[in-house]
């Protein structure tokens, strides 16, 4: 354990308060935040992805946010490579890496040192699968994936097209499912000694209320104009992002704005439910329920106590 890099991970569903807690933990320990969000990596996609503002960062350095053009694909393998490099650099400077995000696949693959079974890819096959999705719908490919790799399919939404395509591609090129690659990789030890803190709400309605308020705040901050700009240059990435596709019917004159906003709230709530399904399977997460605590200070103090008791900083 002595040669492993200490790391704190703050995880949980969207709108649970991860960003604020992650920043507070990093500030307390003189650490730096490493994002684990599959959409915050993209430039120009700011409001819909709930990127922390300069003021919210409160002087804490953030990594793997707002650095990739949305017209370029960004794979899970590229994220893992980038995150490992950033974490090693933070540690080399005597700082504590604080991993913050809700993309469970990123987080578990990184922390568990999962080998992805990368085959180098096949551009022709990938293009064929993308055309198939365009013609028959993303759900068609997800159903195909379910026939030979139900475990991976269970953890993917049909909007997550690039991951669906990658899982099919890996199987066709290697003859081994993505879930099997993950199982095999668990034989390798993690390079990190980590403590995972999860935020959730005992009363699910409290989380849903936070999500609804966040959507309303995003609309007030200019989400509609951001959606118009992003959708004017349609890209695979923006098509996946919650916050744009739900507003598209209004921008095309098909539905009233209030109906589209309600659909956005519903999509976000469903996404939060899927995130919780993923994280609940991980028994290593120390859960904190903000709706059972008096205020944010109590949530923060409980987090620090969990970290200190984990002895990862020894």
pLDDT digits (tens, 9 = 90+) for 73-83: 788 888 999 99
- Average pLDDT in the 153-176 region? 86
Q: Distance of CA 258 to CAs 55, 106, 247, 250, Å?
A: 30, 34, 10, 9
pLDDT confidence band for 183 (50 / 70 / 90):
confident
Six token digits for residue 263 = 């659909």
Query: By percentage, how much of the chain surpasses pLDDT 90?
Result: 68
Residue 143's pLDDT is 94
**Rounded (5°) CA angle 300-302-306:** 115
15 is in an annotated binding site: yes
262 CB neighbour count, 10 Å cutoff: 14
| Range scoring the smallest mean pLDDT among 83-87, 284-288, 309-313 | 309-313
Q: Long-range contacts made by residues 129-136, C-beta under 8 angstroms, separation at least 24? A: 129/165, 129/168, 129/169, 130/161, 130/165, 130/236, 133/161, 133/164, 133/165
Residue 116's pLDDT is 63
pLDDT confidence band for 249 (50 / 70 / 90):
very high
Quick one: CATH architecture of 5-113+189-310?
3-Layer(aba) Sandwich (3.40)
- Average pLDDT in the 93-99 region? 97
| Range scoring the smallest mean pLDDT among 66-70, 112-116, 140-144 | 112-116
The answer, yes or no, to whether residue 108 has pLDDT greater than 70, is yes
- Average pLDDT in the 299-306 region? 98
175 is in an annotated binding site: no
pTM, two decimals, is 0.82
CA separation for the pair 41, 68 (Å, rounded) = 6
14 is in an annotated binding site: yes
Which residue blocks in 221-256 are alpha helix, DSSP H? 223-232, 236-240, 248-251
Burial classification of residue 297, based on how many CB atoms lie within 10 Å of its CB (0-12 exposed, 13-18 middle, 19 or more buried): exposed
pLDDT of 7-48, one tens digit each? 999 999 999 999 999 999 999 999 999 999 999 999 999 999
Q: Which residue has the higher pLDDT, 126 or 244?
A: 244
Smallest Cα–Cα separation from 106: which of 158, 41, 47? 41
Q: Which residue has the higher pLDDT, 45 or 186?
A: 45
Residue 120's pLDDT is 55
C-alpha 262 chain-centroid distance: 23
Burial classification of residue 255, based on how many CB atoms lie within 10 Å of its CB (0-12 exposed, 13-18 middle, 19 or more buried): middle
- Average pLDDT in the 53-61 region? 96
Q: Do domains 5-113+189-310 and 123-184 have the same CATH topology?
A: no
* Average pLDDT along the chain: 91
Residue 186's pLDDT is 61
Residue 244's pLDDT is 93
HSE (side-chain half, CA atoms, 13 Å) at 81: 7
- Average pLDDT in the 203-219 region? 98
Sequence ranges of the domains in the chain: 5-113+189-310, 123-184
Q: Which residue has the higher pLDDT, 286 or 155?
A: 286
- Average pLDDT in the 163-178 region? 87
- Average pLDDT in the 104-129 region? 79
16 is in an annotated binding site: yes
Residue 121's pLDDT is 62
12 is in an annotated binding site: yes
Residue 176's pLDDT is 85
The answer, yes or no, to whether residue 188 has pLDDT greater than 60, is yes
Q: At what angle do helices 204-220 and 257-280 cross, to 10 degrees?
A: 140
C-alpha 279 chain-centroid distance: 11
Q: Are 68 and 74 in contact (CB under 8 A)?
A: yes
pLDDT confidence band for 219 (50 / 70 / 90):
very high
Smallest Cα–Cα separation from 116: which of 179, 168, 175, 74? 179
283 is in an annotated binding site: no
**Which CATH number applies to 123-184?**
1.10.20.140
| 142-166 per-residue burial string, b: 16 or more CB within 10 A, e: under 16 | bebbeeebeebbebbbbbbbbbbbb
């Amino acid at each position: 354990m002595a040669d492993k890099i200490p790391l704190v991970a703050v995880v949980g569903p969207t709108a649970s308060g991860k960003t604020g807690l992650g920043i507070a933990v990093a500030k307390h320990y003189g650490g730096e935040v490493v994002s684990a969000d599959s959409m915050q990596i993209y430039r120009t996609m700011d409001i819909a992805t709930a990127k922390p503002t300069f003021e919210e960062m409160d002087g804490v350095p953030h990594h793997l946010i707002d650095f990739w053009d949305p017209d370029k694909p960004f794979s899970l393998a590229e994220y893992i490579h980038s995150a490992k490099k950033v974490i090693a650099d933070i540690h080399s400077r005597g700082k504590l890496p604080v991993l913050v995000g809700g993309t469970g696949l990123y987080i578990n693959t990184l922390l568990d040192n999962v080998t992805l079974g990368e085959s180098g890819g096949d551009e022709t096959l990938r293009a064929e699968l993308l055309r198939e999705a365009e013609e028959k719908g993303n759900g068609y490919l997800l159903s195909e994936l379910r026939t030979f790799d139900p475990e991976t399919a269970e953890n993917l939404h049909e909007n997550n097209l690039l991951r669906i395509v990658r899982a099919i591609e890996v199987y066709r090129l290697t003859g081994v499912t993505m879930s099997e690659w993950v199982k095999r990789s668990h034989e390798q030890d993690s390079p990190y000694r980590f403590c995972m803190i999860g935020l959730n709400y005992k009363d699910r309605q409290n989380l849903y209320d936070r999500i609804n308020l966040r959507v309303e705040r995003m609309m007030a901050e200019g989400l509609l104009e951001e959606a118009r700009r992003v959708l004017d240059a349609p890209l695979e990435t923006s098509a996946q992002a919650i916050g744009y596709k739900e507003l598209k019917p209004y921008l095309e004159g098909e539905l009233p704005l209030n109906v589209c906003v309600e659909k956005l709230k519903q999509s976000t709530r469903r996404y939060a439910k899927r995130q919780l399904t993923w994280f609940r399977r991980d028994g290593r997460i120390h859960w904190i329920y903000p709706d059972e605590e008096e205020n944010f200070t109590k949530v923060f103090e409980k987090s620090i106590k969990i970290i200190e008791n984990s002895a990862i900083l020894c």
